[in-house]
Every structure is written in C-alpha cells, then in structure tokens.
Amino acid sequence: MRIAVDYTAAVNQTAGIGRFVRSLIKGVVDIDQRNQYLLFHARPNEDAVLDFPTASNVSRRQLPISERLLTILWHRANLPLPVDVFTGAVDLFHSPDFVLPPLRGTKSILTVHDLAFLLFPECAHEALREYLLRVVPRSARRASFIVADSENTANDVICLLGVPPEQVAVVPGGVDPRFQPVTDPERLRVMRRLLGVETAPYVLFVGVIEPRKNLQGLIQAFELIKKRHRLPHKLVVVGRKGWLSDDIYEKYEQSQVRQDIVFPGFIPDEDLPTLYSAASALVMPSFYEGFGLPLLEAMACGTPVVASNAASLPEVVGDAAPQVDPNDIDALAEALAQVLTDDTLRAVNRARGLERAAQFTWQAAAQKLLDVYERVGADAKVGVA
C-alpha cells in the first residue's frame, strides 16, 4: 500500500502528541519494509522538530502553507480542498492528531488521543473547545477507523462519539530504550544544578501546565507534606505554560512553601532520562489523561511514581504505583509522603516500575498500528505509486 501520514504534529509539537507521533511512526517504518509511506506536513514553525525516519520506502512532502492557515482553510472555512491534491493517490490516509482534512474517498484512520474537551470543558479555552466540539466528532464520523491511546479513551470514543466498537482499536504509547536509570553522579549533579535544587531531593511533575493536570491540587498536597512530615524535598514542575494556567501560578505565588517549588520550564528530550533519574519520585495527579508517557518513562528510569486513579493512568501504572483520587488532596499527600519516606516501599515500587515499563515498547505499539493499517487498507484499490 501507499500510506500517507499527516506528520505535522510530529514536526510542530516538541513534546506530548508530537513525541508520541514521532516515536510511533518511526517504529512502524522500522518494522515495515513492504508498504510505501509518505510523510507530509505543513510549513514548520520556528521551533520545529525536523526529525524524520529514513528508509527507502519513506518519502516526505512539505506543504507550502502554515499549519494555522491549513486549519483555517480546512476546518474553519470548510474549504473543500482535498488533501489528495498534495499527497497524490494513496490507499490509506492516517491523521494522528484528532482531525481529518477533506479526502476524495480514500480510506482513513484518525487517532483520538483523549476527549478532555468533552469531559472537562472548563479546562480549555472557549474558542478551542468550540473548535474541537465541531471538528473532532465530524472527523470521527468521516474516518474509516479510529485509533485511541488507551482503553479508557477508546471507551470514551465509543460512548461519547457513537463510534461502533468494531471500528476502534487501542495503540498505546511506549518507552524509548534511552530511558534507563542514570547513575553517573556528575550527570545527576549537573541536572540538579540546572533545576536550582543542588542540595535538596525533589519530587517531579512533567507535563503542560494546564488545569486538567491538577497542579493546584499537587501544590496543596505538597504543602501538607511539608507541614506534616517536615521533608527536605523540593517540588519541580517541568513543562511549558499552557492555557488557563493563571490560577496555577496564583496558587504557587500564594503558597507558604513557594520557596520550595520550582518551575524550570521546558526540559529538552535528551535530558529527560537524567531528570527522571535524579528525582525522588514522579507524581501525575491529573483529572484526565489520554495516556501518560511521563509515568512510563520515569518507571523505566527506576523512579517511583504516584498517579491519580483517573482515566487511562491505571492502565499505565498497573500495580507498580499508588493510585489516588485526584480530588482527595489528603490521600495524594499521604501516598506521596509514604513513597518518599518508606525505603521498602520505594524498592518494591522501583522494581515493579522497571518491570511494568518494560511491557510498553514503541515496537509493540508500532506493530499494533501496522495491524490497523493492514486491516483498514485490505480492500484499497489504489496501487503503489
């Protein structure tokens, strides 16, 4: 088959979905030499990640216009300009980032990472929410098949978007082999210095700073830990500023322990294994997640984790970590304090985390996606160009 993949998210999003798409498509190309792949994308942003898989069956095509203009033309103005004009004839089209452009009858696969805009509408800007409410259900109706990151998201797609179960499959995330425990004292020391926590252990959060991550709740839980247990730890919140984040920063400014809370901003991908390894624990207290890569990556680096019991996160951590109600601040504080102070629990969680993370590989995820490609494209009529 000739398969076109919209690679725009992989180019223009440094973390999150961008990294998910880059890792998954690279995994597919690594195991499949039979099909032909065309990776097309909008004109790159200034901070684009120009990382493309290289293989004889992979080609690349850059569109002459920006992602923003494409979004306006295709999804706001509803211009009936089929993407086939740019890709040429293909047997299968995969959009890995929520929305489908116009197509001329080509079989299509749509990846839906989460439905937070439906379940937690208060956690997104009104304009973004209205846009997603309009285009995601429409794209799901038009798609030949839906891929979800987790069983939880797949269930949401079936229940909330009315997609038949037989048209939905789960393709989870994976862990890159570079995520391993870092033990080099110098690398760990440099990371702590970069974060500004040279002399103190730290609890880590990694993700976009936005309401559904429950960072206000995490700050409250951290305050309880400092008050009840007098622990020396800092709280390091790594990630770019997202939408509706003013209340989070206001909570930080008003915190009585703000001197022990650090917002270092975005940390490059290549530094993440050291960032995780230097942490005493990683915590993800989110109200909703489509998957939760930081949990897997931290566990692969030997770092104990604490997760909320919401949405997909129990699927990720299994029995390798405490799971708490994200609305129960006291429970979150006590679970985290226990992980930080109980050496036996830390050792057990570390061992279980390493074992759990090893079950998620991008190669296995890629094979699941390739199975979907083969299934959906089985009766495609267009030959390989």
Identify the pLDDT of residue 385. Answer: 37
List, in order of start, the domains of the chain with CATH numbers: 2-174+362-376 (3.40.50.2000), 185-357 (3.40.50.2000)
Q: Where are the alpha helices (DSSP H) in the chain?
A: 8-12, 17-31, 67-71, 84-87, 116-119, 126-142, 151-161, 185-195, 215-229, 246-254, 272-278, 293-300, 313-317, 329-341, 343-357, 362-376
- Over its length of 385 residues, how does the chain's per-residue pLDDT go in tens digits? 999 999 999 999 988 899 999 999 999 999 999 999 999 999 999 888 888 998 999 999 999 899 999 888 888 878 888 998 889 999 999 999 999 999 988 999 999 999 999 999 998 889 889 999 999 999 999 999 999 999 999 999 999 999 999 999 999 999 999 999 999 999 999 999 999 999 899 999 999 999 999 999 999 999 999 999 999 999 999 999 998 999 999 999 999 999 999 999 999 999 999 999 999 999 999 999 999 999 999 999 999 999 999 999 999 999 999 999 999 999 999 999 999 999 999 999 999 999 999 999 999 999 999 999 999 998 665 444 3
**Size (the chain), residues:** 385
Identify the pLDDT of residue 384. Answer: 42
| CA–CA distance, 313 with 238 (Å, rounded to integer) | 19
Contacts of 215 (CB under 8 A, 6+ apart): 205, 209, 237, 248, 251, 285
Query: DSSP 3-state assignment of 175?
Result: strand
Q: Which long-range contacts (CB under 8 A, 24 or more apart) does 150-153 make?
A: 150/290, 150/291, 150/311, 150/312, 150/315, 150/316, 151/312, 151/315, 152/290, 152/311, 152/312, 152/315, 153/112, 153/113, 153/114, 153/115, 153/290, 153/291, 153/311, 153/312
Identify the pLDDT of residue 379. Answer: 64
Angle at 222 between CA 302 and CA 253, to 5 degrees: 125
Instruction: Name the residue type at position 14.
Output: T
What is the Cα 120 distance to its own chain's centre?
17
Identify the pLDDT of residue 75. Answer: 84
Identify the pLDDT of residue 134. Answer: 93
Contacts of 43 (CB under 8 A, 6+ apart): 62, 63, 64, 65, 66, 67
What predicted TM-score, i.e. pTM, was given to this entire model?
A: 0.94
